[in-house]
Chains A and B, each alone.
Chain A
Amino acid sequence: MVELVLFIIFALAALLGAVTTVWARNPVYSALGLMLTLFSVAVFYVSSGAHFVAAVQVIVYAGAVMTLFLFVIMLVGVDRAEVRRENLPVQRPVALGLLALFGAGVLVAGRFVWVTGPAGGAGLEGTVENVGGELFRRWVLPFELTALLLIIAAVGTIALGLFRRGEEPAEEGEEAP
Chain B
Amino acid sequence: MTVTPGWYMALAAVLFVIGASGLLLRRNALVMFMSVELMLNAANLSFVAAGRELGILDGQVAVFFVMVVAAAEVVVGLAIIVTVFRRRATASVDELSELKG
Contacts and interface: CB of A to CB of B under 8 A. Distances in A.
Given A48-B48, A53-B48, A92 B79 contact: no
Contact of B68 (A47, A126, A149): A149
Contact of A15 (B18, B24, B71): B18
Nearest to B1: A4
Contacts of B7: 7, 11
Contacts of B35: 21-22
B96 interface: no
Nearest to B68: A146
A174 interface: no
B56 A121 contact: yes
A75 B21 contact: no
Contact of A103 (B13, B27, B87, B94): B13
17 contacts: A11-B7, A14-B15, A21-B19, A27-B30, A37-B38, A44-B11, A47-B3, A69-B74, A76-B30, A95-B24, A99-B17, A119-B55, A121-B54, A126-B60, A134-B57, A149-B69, A165-B87
